[in-house]
Structure 1
Amino acid sequence: MRSRMILIVDDELRSREGMKKILEVWAAGQYEILTASNGVAAMQILEEIPVELMITDIRMPEISGLALISQMREKRIQRKPSVILISGHAEFEYAQQAIHLSVVDYLLKPASREKLIASVEDALKAGEEQEHIVFMRKMADPQLMAIREEEAALSDPVRQAMHYVEMHIEEAISLQEVAGHVHLNGSYFSSLFKEQCQMNFSEYVARRKLQKAKELLLKTNLPIAEIASRTGYQTVKYFNKLFKEYDGMSPGQYRSKRNGMDGHIQ
């Protein structure tokens, strides 16, 4: 498994190596600390290696830190890292541009060990949260999202039924079972659910189970048979058939395609 990367960009050798030593002790092997002495070298690294966090000086020859961030945002690189800017000068204009470029933090040189580490930890956390949001958007079923957005307007029995599905996602779930749970006649519950959610209850269950399956396909290396079992399907054949019906490809193809697009997701 490839190491997680932090990139330090600074044309001053002492500053660059000082930060590297501090972060190597802090990282304790969990991150590899890369360095670049200028923006050109930094861009080459970013184009070749997925970096989680970049710490860059603002004032550098050829390409400034701000120009480097702008170039990085425009280029198609494997991963756009979170960014911390460092500067020897407290200039308001720099801080304004940093905010515009969505920089996580802005540190003045020389930053203390404590401030540097705190800033790095905050930036990595922010990056993970953003990555999770992007990940969930890529997996999201638009029809399930539409129902979630209107959840407050749904009746109590329908909300209870949706909660029941969440709690029993690893089991086979029948309409009659859920109707009994919400104390309604099966036919009435079926009509009520379709009226409020614009889809049959069985379709809702299938979509929610497939959403869970997609999460397992991308976040784990579990065999497809195990994923089918964990989403309440007794046979892989039926699971594959249903997945292809809704997504136009097999679970294996979905995993390969998505992991090819987002190689950093494990």
Structure 2
Amino acid sequence: MYRILIVDDEPMIRKGLQKLVEQSELPIESLRTAENGAAALQRIQEERPDFLFTDIRMPKMDGLELCRQVAELDADIQIVVVSGYNDFEYAQKCLSYGVKEYLLKPVNIKGFQSILEKLVRHKSKVSSETFVAVTKLEQWANRMEQAVWMLQETELDRLLGEIRHELSDYKLKLNRVCDVLEEIHTLLQHRLNIRDIYLLQGELALASAASEEMAWEQFASAVRRRLEELKAKRKGRVKDPVEESKQYIEQHLAEEVSLEEVAEHIGLNPSYFSQLFKQSTQETFVQYRTRRRMEKAKKLLEQPQWRITDISGEVGYADHPHFTKTFKKYAGCLPSEYRQQMGIRS
């Protein structure tokens, strides 16, 4: 399965190249487009493509600068320059940035198909040059499973460091490192699932990792979460930890409750709880707490007997101006204005 990114400031050219890719019958995982080099770099940060097709002359960031930055970011991305005849000499400058091929506009089906075949052959050759044996991946997953199952946090951290050191000897490209880490994580999850462990998180996707350091951080964090989940399960927790935390927040909206305090109340590591909460609610702890405070404030503002200064304290704001500022940011108006909209005099 291949990931392809097409970059051109002309919509018709982008659509035409998209159609040629779709007609190629190449197994496509994702096919995305960008209107200039700056937008393309953002797309690449979100998900690294295998093949990049780019025009030369574009606003904001031209193709030459895009090729230069992509070469620094990930030399394993195969680049094809697609441009007009008049830009040929200019396009040749891209060769120093690892450009594989040059396509002349207008692009025909036969020429495009030939280029795609070359890219696929090259990628297959590169992929076969360096690989980590499946037996080695299984060995790492087995040892990791044992450390997680026995709740051996120190051993797990030591093992993660050892695997990283061993894997560095293979001198793999970033995309291959991500593939290996995703495979280890899948093997680990499979082994834990056999033991009837309910896991809160599914597959690990590292395509958006901009560096090897980031990929390792995401991988290590995911593995440590497996241990934290198992630890919580063995404490006999029957309530959903996120729902339990929401109840606790609701009961203490008038207080300055911290993430650490809530994590301790439900018996989870603060770092793990923070990740779990964000994963479940799509909000950070602070964002959720602020939203619930503002929703309660609106309900109280709708009751004439409550003074606005008292309401700020009731929802956890000792500093009244801070409450007013936060409410306006959330509701789009001041508390007094909100009351007026309700037909209530402050």
Q: TM-score, normalised by structure 2?
A: 0.40
Aligned partners of 2:14, 2:32: CA distance in 1, in Å?
Answer: 10
Task: Show the counterpart of 2:66.
Answer: 68
Q: 1:67 to 1:131 in 2, by over 3 A?
A: farther
Label 1:115 to 1:50 Cα distance change in 2 as closer, same or farther (>3 A): same
Q: Whose RCO is larger (CA < 8 A, sep 6+)? A: 1
Q: Is the 8 A contact 1:39 1:65 kept in 2?
A: yes
Equivalent AA in structure 1 for residue 179 of structure 2: H
Q: Does 1:263 align with 2:178?
A: yes
- Cα distance in 1 between the residues matched to 2:29 and 2:113: 13
> Which residue does the alignment assign to 1:166?
none
Separation in 1 of the partners of 2:115 and 2:31?
A: 15
Change (3 A) 1:225 1:107: closer
| Deviation, structure 1 residue 24 | 1.6
Query: Any conservation in 2 of the 1:217–1:255 contact (CA below 8 Å)?
Result: no
User: What's the CA shift for 1:29?
Assistant: 4.5
1:215 maps to which of 129, 133, 150: 133
Deviation of residue 30 (structure 1)? Answer: 3.3
The C-alpha deviation readout for 1:85-127, integer Å capped at 9, x for no partner, is 0101244422431322221110101110111121022023223
What is the Cα deviation at residue 66 of structure 1?
1.2
Instruction: Say if 1:38 and 1:61, in contact at 8 Å, map to a contact too.
Output: yes
- Paired with 1:217 and 1:37, the residues of 2 have a C-alpha distance of 44
Query: What per-residue deviation string (whole Å, max 9, x for no partner) do you get for residues 106-156 of structure 1?
Result: 0101110111121022023223323444x36xxxxxxxxxxxxxxxxxxxx
Name the CA distance, whole Å, in 2 between partners of 1:118 and 1:10: 20
**Matched AA of 1:60:** M
Kept in 2: contact 1:24–1:32 (CA 8 A): no
How many angstroms does 1:257 deviate by? 7.3
Q: Is 1:97–2:100 an aligned residue pair?
A: no
- On the 8 A contact 1:5/1:50 being kept in 2, the answer is yes
CA pair 47-124 structure 1, distance change in 2 beyond 3 A: same
Q: Per-residue deviation at 1:264?
A: 3.0
How far is 1:216 from its partner?
2.3
In the other structure, the counterpart of 2:13 is 15
Gap change, CA 1:217 and 1:61, over 3 Å in 2:
farther
- How far 1:222 moved relative to its partner? 4.5
- Spell out, residue by residue over 1:173-203, the C-alpha distance to the aligned partner (whole angstroms, 9 max, x if none): xxxxxxxxxxxxxxxxxxxxxxxxxxxxxxx
Counterpart in 2 of 1:254? 163
For residues 70 and 225 of structure 1, the distance between their equivalents in structure 2, rounded to whole angstroms, comes to 38
Task: Select 2:22's aligned residue among 6, 21, 24.
Answer: 24
TM alignment of 1:124-135, pairs within 5 A: 124-133=120-129, 135=130
Using the alignment, how far apart are the partners of 1:253 and 1:48 within structure 2?
A: 29
Structure 2 unaligned spans of 5+: 143-157, 184-346
Unaligned segments of structure 1, at least 5 residues: 137-213, 227-248
Go from structure 1 to structure 2 and tell me whether the alpha carbon gap of 1:119 and 1:50 turns closer, same or farther (over 3 Å shift). Answer: same
Identity %: 29
Structure (1 or 2) with the larger CA radius of gyration: 2
Q: How does 1:70-149 map to 2 (within 5 A)?
A: 70-75=68-73, 80-133=76-129, 135=130
Cα–Cα, structure 1 residues 225 and 95, in superposed 2: closer, same or farther, change >3 Å?
closer
TM-score by length of 1: 0.51
The aligned counterpart of 1:165 is: none
8 Å contact from structure 2 (residues 6, 53) kept in 1:
yes
